[in-house]
Amino acid sequence: MTTYAVTGATGGLGAAAVAALRTKGVPASDIVAVVRDAAKAESLAADGVVVRVAPYEDPDALAAALTGVDRLLLVSSPTIGQRTAQHTNVISAAAAAGVAVIAYTSLVNAPDSPLGLADEHRETEALLADFGGDHILLRNGWYWENFLANVEPASANGALLGAAGTGRVAGAARAELGEAAAAALIDGTPAVYELGGPSSSYADLAAAIGDATGTTVVYRDLPVGDYREALLEAGTPEGLAAFLAETDAGIAQGALDTSSPSLQQLLGRTPGTFADTLRSSRA
């Protein structure tokens, strides 16, 4: 018997990973959902999944939560700026508990990525190299879901705004990345996976939005500063506007593109397109 644990199990990716572990035949009682709010994990508990409460800030609770765990999926924290400290706590607790394999949701192209958010992923990857057990790097591509917020404004204005130029994004549906994580964890072999689906330009995304909404949508490329200004004028909070503009500048340099077949191999099928995610979101 192998006991699996998943952090962030009440979040989108963690929940998808737990569901995929179950679909792939792992008994619920062999899965530990590590959560910070047990109330959000009631459906997991009802399914028989073992729910343990352990915020990333609580080393003692993490140590208790990971007792008896063989393989851990460490879903990266959403709190930029605190991730490395939080991940350090999880990895230290896992080492103390004798966890044999940690799979970590990093960022596609992390070692060379120009994106600011890659820093903490690189730091976490370095921690894993010294953790004492085996590790699997799941370098996740951008979620297609990240672009759903653009759909209504783009269809209303007939233009998708951005600053990515002709840069391409090998995105993926979050649920497919969760499924891939489960497959890699069950396999358990140390590996580095660059995980992306069909590579798309912003012009491709604009065309998909047009198709889905029955409108004509073109991509309008702006200088990075102008794009940030346009986001601010549309009411986007300052920090988010800066983040989105910086991300587009990185996309223009290829930061979120990959031609790796790893996602297809882990899924055993062709990963979905942005149009697929868009269709599901509107169904």
Task: Find the part of the chain contacting ligand NAP (CB under 6 A) among 51-59, 208-216, 226-234, 273-281.
Answer: 51-59
Q: Largest alpha-carbon pair distance within the chain? A: 57
> Which CB atom, from 10 or from 201, has the smaller least distance to ligand NAP?
10
String marking each residue 205-244 x if it binds ligand NAP according to CB under 6 A: ----------------------------------------
Closest separation between CB of residue 139 and ligand NAP, Å? 10
In this structure, how many other beta carbons lie within 10 angstroms of the beta carbon of residue 208? Answer: 23
Pair of tokens at residue 113:
């990525």
Considering only the stretches 3-11, 64-72, 159-167, 206-214, report the one whose residues sit in contact with ligand NAP under the rule CB under 6 A.
3-11
Q: List binders of ligand NAP among 163-202 (CB under 6 A).
A: 174
- If binding is defined by CB under 6 A, does position 106 make contact with ligand NAP? no
Report the sign of the C-alpha dihedral through residues 35, 41, 47, 48, in that order.
positive
For tokens 């047009």, name the residue: 210
**The binder of ligand NAP chosen from 45, 55, 190, 276 (CB under 6 A):** 55
* Choice between 59 and 158, CB closer to ligand NAP: 59
For residues 55 and 132, which CB has a smaller minimum distance to ligand NAP in the complex?
55
Residue nearest to ligand NAP (CB): 11
Instruction: Pick the closer one to ligand NAP by CB: 55 or 190.
Output: 55
Alpha-carbon distance values, 190 to 15, 90, 133, 179, 266 (Å): 23, 19, 10, 17, 14
**By C-beta, is 13 or 128 nearer to ligand NAP?**
13
For residues 99 and 33, is the Cβ–Cβ distance under 8 A? no
For position 109 contacting ligand NAP by CB under 6 A, the verdict is no
| Cα(233)–Cα(229) distance, integer angstroms | 6
Task: Answer yes or no whether residue 277 interacts with ligand NAP by CB under 6 A.
Answer: no
Establish if 14 lies at the interface with ligand NAP (CB under 6 A): yes
In the bound state with ligand NAP, the residue whose beta carbon lies nearer, of 40 and 122, is: 40
Give whichever of 204 and 229 is closer to ligand NAP, judged by the CB atom: 204
Query: Is the CB of 1 or the CB of 34 nearer to ligand NAP?
Result: 34
Minimum CB distance to ligand NAP, residue 54 (Å): 7
- Binding to ligand NAP (CB under 6 A) within 66-85 occurs at 75-79
Alpha-carbon distance of 34 to 162, in angstroms, equals 37
* Contacting positions for ligand NAP (CB under 6 A): 8, 10-14, 36-37, 40, 55-57, 75-79, 86, 105, 140, 142-143, 146, 174
